Amino acid sequence: MHGQMMQMPLLISSLLTHAERNHGDREIVSRRVEGDLHRYDYRGLGRRARQMANALKAHGIRHGDRVATLAWNGYRHMELYYAVSGSGAVLHTINPRLHAEQVLWMLEHSGARVLFFDLTFMPLIEQIAARATRIEAFVAMCDRANLPRVSLSKPLVSHDGLIAAHDDDFEWPPLDENTAATLCYTSGTTGNPKGVLYSHRSTVLHSLAAAQRDAFNCSAMDAILPVVPMFHVNAWGLPYVACMVGAKLVFPGPWLDGASLHELIETEGVTLSAGVPTVWQGLLAQVEASGAGFKTMRRTIIGGAACPPPMIAAFQDRHDVTVLHAWGMTELSPLGTVCSPKPGVTVDSAEDQLALQAKQGRAPFGVEMKIVGADGADLPHDGRSAGELLVRGPWVAASYFRRADEGMLRDGWFPTGDIATIDADGYMQITDRSKDLIKSGGEWISSIDLENIAAAHPAVAMAACIAVPHPKWDERPVLVIQRKPEAQVAPEELLALYHGRIARWSIPDQVFFVDAVPVGATGKVLKAELRARFSDPVAAVN
């Protein structure tokens, strides 16, 4: 027997319609590439998104066509989030920090017909335009006056010009909720990137889960600053969540340095922010140096890489900002877990509290997790047994774009490539990325554990732990350290931190100092690069 309820498809356009009707005058504030601060509201967003939808239609963009962006976080990007997906086309967001050849490869692979870009990326566009064979038109995300006077092989128009040429009389089509909405490629360090094709349904369900109190905890009372880029897994879904709850949105544009972020947080009354640890390092350094605090910001979501406990402590103890440590992946839209409290999980000391928050957290409804050993058998959720983390749920990818025949699932579960423990309360902790694991004398060593210990030293800006080959033990851990500006610390002092805290055999053998730990396009440490550089420790020192 069927239930007798309405069949309303879960559509991205309905998020915008909801925001326009119920939170029409809530603000969206953006620092623009032009250098100024732009402000309008959900009503303005709705109007311009519909105008843009008409412009796309006039260009002949049809259901399922891909429209690409190379853009920072800002209102024009937000307009495309809704105009493109809402009208049934697919928004392909590209990470502009990737190499030009990779950008070109993804454009060819996705077959995008139009490419929107922020003016910052004009040189990149000039570099790739002639070879981007599938692109029919380039759109600079600016007004007509700022349109660059360059000649490309294809037409170049302005975003605002397109909008001005069309009225806002547009009805969002009643799509099937399983229609593709957005496309984002994983930032794989080897091989070609893999595309994850999200649907309207997966996006709306993900937004419902992400907005929850025990997840990102979002409300109409919030002013949200997504520092995590809109080109990286849809800024963790925050552009959708904000419409869903009617929160104010604050976009930083290209200015991600500590001083710019802090100014924006203070002047716009930001209550919640989200980003990777590397970005928060800049912000913390800024507030600690200037002595300024946070008047309104009370929560920050940190994920994308393990959040070092000293960062959690700094935000919470010194600035009264609660850290929500989260784990996710491009393949998971991205939300997998958030470390939020639970009754019955008691912590006796500040140290225990920090140890709990260093965990990546619990699964919201909609994400199922398990860990398996090398033989594929389930491992106990005892907080000690570490195995590969497998997940499934309605916002987890079932296959990669244009690689559906490759079968990425294992018995219906997605193998994440992360190694983790899960405790009896359901808190998951990543111990390693499988390719970053260190196996010494047959025993696994968690690189994240070792990094967290070194990161606690006040002179350390960033710590990375990698395996180097060893004739007797196969592999041994070594530390690569980036010191804070002007700070000094000797290798022995860092190594002393480990004594008495971890098994002797898992203490790193050596410490290497570098000017800057290499970080990839999405803020993750490039361990492969470090391994290549330090795998012959003798050569590395000389």
Residues in touch with ligand AMP (CB under 6 A): 186-187, 233, 303-306, 325-330, 334, 360, 416-418, 430, 433, 522
* CB of residue 277 to ligand AMP, shortest distance in Å: 8
> How many angstroms separate the CA atoms of 108 and 110, rounded?
6
- Containing 27, the helix (H) or strand (E) segment is strand 27-31
> How many angstroms separate the CA atoms of 535 and 530, rounded?
8
Instruction: Extract the runs of DSSP E, i.e. beta strands, from 484-525.
Output: 510-514
> How many angstroms separate the CA atoms of 472 and 467, rounded?
13
* CB of residue 526 to ligand AMP, shortest distance in Å: 12
* CB of residue 322 to ligand AMP, shortest distance in Å: 16
Our CB check for ligand AMP shows the closer of 170 and 414 to be 414
* CB of residue 189 to ligand AMP, shortest distance in Å: 10
**What are the catalytic residues?**
186, 331, 439, 444
> How many angstroms separate the CA atoms of 532 and 201, rounded?
42
Our CB check for ligand AMP shows the closer of 326 and 519 to be 326
Which residue number has the CB closest to ligand AMP? 330
> How many angstroms separate the CA atoms of 130 and 161, rounded?
23
CB 481 within 8 A of CB 516: no
Our CB check for ligand AMP shows the closer of 9 and 417 to be 417
CB 224 within 8 A of CB 250: yes
Of the candidates 443, 389, 387, 379, the residue with the CA atom closest to the CA atom of residue 416: 389
Our CB check for ligand AMP shows the closer of 71 and 430 to be 430
Other C-beta atoms within 10 Å of 511: how many? 18
CB 363 within 8 A of CB 342: no
Quote the longest CA-to-CA distance of the chain.
Answer: 75
* CB of residue 296 to ligand AMP, shortest distance in Å: 25
* CB of residue 126 to ligand AMP, shortest distance in Å: 28
Structure tokens at 541: 């020192």
Helix or strand or coil: residue 477?
strand
